[in-house]
Amino acid sequence: MSASSAPPSSRRWLIYGSVALVLALGVWYAASRSPASSGGGRNRWNVKAGNQAVPVRAEVARQEAFAVHLKSIGTVTPLNTVTVRSRVDGPLQRIAFAEGQRVERGDLLAEIDPAPYRIRLAQTEGQLQQNAAQLQTARSDLQRFEQLFAQNLVTRQELELQQALVASREGALAASKAQVETARLELSYTRIEAPIAGRLGLRQVDTGNLVRAGDSNGLVVITQTAPISVLFTVPETDLQQVLDGLRTGDALVVEAWDRNERSLLATGTLRTVDNQINVATGTLRLRAEFANADDRLFPNQFVNVRLRVVTLPAAIVVSTSAIQFGSRGTYVYVVNERNEAKVRDVVLGPANALLQTVTSGVKAGDPVVVEGIDRLRDGRAVTLIDESAPAAPAAEPAAKSGPGGRPGSKGR
């Protein structure tokens, strides 16, 4: 059957279907070319922005010596701490120090009343003289007994008794000498002197109190602050780095920083490594020594410790802000000669608070993006911000118009 012979109703529905299909195609095409007002403006901006260069700041990767540090938390510990106590009993007659004063070894700190000890010394010296006189008499008698024994005028027993008497007098004289030395020593103990150099704490006893040799509190505490040490720990996994540094024979440098790690307090050297690892914590204790001439380290102060174990002579260094972490691993954005940001996969080495070493992926001289990274993708055009460029000068004010209406014209 031909189309001309088809029923009128069939032809009518065929025409209606064709018109509806054409209208649907027209609506779809119009919608794709003219987005809705709610999102069309944003899509057009995104398309336009995708073609614009992103302003970024880049730093050149450089090759330099890089010090590798082990970080830890340490405690400032004095090398010596002494509680000064009296070695004799007696009333405290005088205090010769000020609290917080720095003293040297042998400086006078306090005095105990020496009068009883002077009397005791005089008594022992008198006993010494008496024993010396008795010994001299016994020795003279012995000489006479020897002469009489040679003439058979005294018996051997009498001679031996006289010899024993001389020996007894010699023993008594030696004991008297020891008593004199003891009394003289106790008298010297009435002057309490500083046993070490250091800084004094608060005094524990006031003048006039009766002090005893067994007092546990003592008079004052002396703390050695110059030099001073810092005790800290390192993990067992880092032990070999420390031992390798010590085997070279060079002193390992230790830095003490404040709690915020913003201020370097002092620089010293590693002195001692403990002889065993703490099995409970898996750490090893180390002691570093600092000159501390300016007293910036204070006993029992907590500090952040950085132990320099090795220095890499030619490491590739970038800022830590340039390092990115993602599903693909660790990477950075490098600006090529066409001012495009290209993704570079990198392998990281040791780092510190500001700098990161890169063992592969970046070479010295590569400009690495450090700011503006959040808007970048691989191949995106960028504009480098030059922070050293001077700021644009402010616009000069417009010249005042003259009466004639022209700038700068003068009325005639």
**Concatenated DSSP letters of 231-258:** EEEEEGGGHHHHHHHHHTSSPPEEEEE-
Structural contact between residues 338 and 374, judged by C-beta atoms closer than 8 angstroms:
no
Q: What share of the chain is helix, strand, coil (3-state, %, to 5)?
A: 30, 35, 35
pLDDT at 62 over 50: yes
Give the architecture (CATH level 2) of 54-65+314-384: Beta Barrel (2.40)
Report residue 302's pLDDT band, with 50, 70 and 90 as the boundaries: very high
Question: Token pair for residue 320?
Answer: 């830590």
End-to-end CA distance of the chain: 100
- 332, 372 in Cβ contact below 8 A? no
191-219, pLDDT tens digit by residue? 999 999 999 999 999 999 999 987 888 99
Q: Report the range of poorest mean pLDDT among 118-122, 286-290, 297-301, 404-408.
A: 404-408
- Please give the share of the chain, as a percent, with pLDDT higher than 70: 85
Residues 176 and 179: their CA atoms lie apart, in Å, by 5
For the segment(s) 80-111+194-223, the CATH number from 3.40.630.30, 2.40.50.100, 3.30.1280.10, 2.60.120.10 is 2.40.50.100
Q: What is the DSSP letter of 216?
A: S
CATH 2.40.50.100 location in the chain: 80-111+194-223
**Which residues belong to CATH 1.10.287.470 in the chain?**
114-189
Which two three-digit tokens encode residue 234? 């390192």
What is the reported pLDDT for 182?
95
* pLDDT at position 201: 94
Statement: residue 387 has pLDDT above 70: no
The whole-number average pLDDT for the span 365-381 is 90
Which residue in this structure is represented by tokens 């922005």?
A: 49
Query: If pLDDT is split at 50, 70 and 90, which confidence band does 154 have?
Result: confident
Which region among 2-11, 159-168, 327-336, 400-409 has the lowest average model confidence (pLDDT)? 400-409
Structure tokens at 227: 């030099």
For residue 147, list its beta bridge partners.
none
Does residue 167 carry a pLDDT above 50?
yes
For domain 69-79+226-312, the CATH class is: mainly beta
Q: Please, where in the chain does CATH 2.40.420.20 lie?
A: 54-65+314-384
Query: Number of C-alpha atoms within 13 angstroms, CB side, residue 173?
Result: 17
The two tokens of residue 253 are 């440098």
* Residue 407 preceded by cis peptide, ω within 30: no
Query: For position 26, what pLDDT does the model report?
Result: 73
Question: Span 335-354, mean pLDDT?
Answer: 89
Paired tokens of 194: 């500083």
Q: How confident is the model at residue 266 (pLDDT cuts 50, 70, 90)?
A: very high
Q: Which CATH architecture has domain 114-189?
A: Orthogonal Bundle (1.10)
pLDDT value at residue 152:
87
Is the pLDDT at 157 greater than 70, yes or no?
Answer: yes
pLDDT of 119 reads 95
User: For the chain, how many helices (H) and strands (E)?
Assistant: 5, 22
pLDDT band (50, 70, 90) for residue 31: low
The two structure tokens encoding residue 99: 């609290």
Mean pLDDT taken over the chain? 85
What is the Rg, in whole angstroms, of the alpha carbon atoms belonging to the chain? 48
404 compared with 30, residue with greater pLDDT: 30
State yes or no: pLDDT of 30 exceeds 80: no
Predicted confidence (pLDDT) per residue in 247-261, tens digit: 887 789 999 999 988
Is the pLDDT at 45 greater than 80? The verdict is: no
Residue 327 confidence (pLDDT): 87
Specify the pTM: 0.64
DSSP letter at 155 equals: -
Question: Is a pLDDT exceeding 70 seen at residue 40?
Answer: no
